[in-house]
Amino acid sequence: MCTILVKIITHTHILQIVNYSFFAIAGLVIFGFSFPFVYAHTTIEVGPYEIEVGWQDEPPVVGILNAITIDIREPGNVEGVSMGITNAFRNLDATIVSGGASKVLDINTDPRPGHYYAKIIPTKTGSLEIKLQGEINGIEINEVIPVEDVESTSVLDFPARSGSSSGQEVSALKNAVTSLQKDVSAIKSQVGGIDTRSGNFDAETAYNFGVFGISLGAAGVILAIIAMVKRK
C-alpha cells in the first residue's frame, strides 16, 4: 500500500513538472516570436520633435554600401502635417554603436528639409544602435535608437549555395530533436523501473533534474529554430 502511494505521489509530481516545463517552453516560443528581433524605421518623440531613424536600404547586408537615414520633423501649421527641421545637426551628433565599438557619423543633408543621412558599409552581422546627443533649438537630445539588424550576404544568395550553412543547421536541429526524444524515453524507462522502497535513491529528485535538463535542451532547440526563422 505504501509503495503504491509513493508511486502515485511520484507520478503526480511528474505530471506537474511536465506541465511546468511545457508552459515554460511554450512561453519561450511565444516571447521569442512576439519580441521583435529586427527593427524597421523607429520613430521617437523628443519635445516637439519627431525623430525617425533607420536604414536607407533594408535589410542591411554585410559588406554592401548603405546609409543611416535620420528624419527630424515638428508639427506644422496644419493639423496632421509636419515640417522638416533644417540645420538640425548644427549642435547635434549621431554616433553608431556596435557592442563596444562606436563611430561618429558624417551627416549629409538631403535636398528635402529635415532629411539627413550618413553612408556606411556594415562590416559584421548583428545589432546596431544610433546614439543622438546634443540639442535642437534649445531642446536637449540624448537618445539611443536601435536599427534593423545587419544580415549576412546569404539573404541575397540565389540560387542557394550547395552545402550552405542552412542545410547544416537543419540537420543539426534534427539530430538535437532525435536526441531529446531518446532522453525522454530513457527517463521514462528508468522511472518505471525504480524501486521506491530503496532508501538510497530519491526518484522524485532524479526525475526533476532529468526533466529540467531536457527542458533546457528543448529551449535551446526552440531558440535555434527562432534564429533560423529570423534570418529567413
pLDDT in tens, 24-78: 444 544 444 444 444 579 999 999 999 999 999 999 999 999 999 999 999 988 8
Decide if 134 contacts 141 (C-beta within 8 A): yes
Q: Which three cell numbers stand for residue 79?
A: 493639423
Q: Architecture of 42-156 per CATH?
A: Sandwich (2.60)
**pLDDT, average across residues 140-161:** 92
Decide if 148 contacts 40 (C-beta within 8 A): yes
- Distance from CA of residue 169 to its chain's centroid? 18
Tracing cell 515640417 back to the chain, one arrives at 83
Whether residue 14 is predicted with pLDDT greater than 70 in this model: the reply is: no
How confident is the model over 123-138, as pLDDT tens digits?
Answer: 999 999 999 999 999 9
Of 40, 38, 43, 44, residue with least CA distance to 55: 40
**pLDDT, average across residues 92-96:** 98
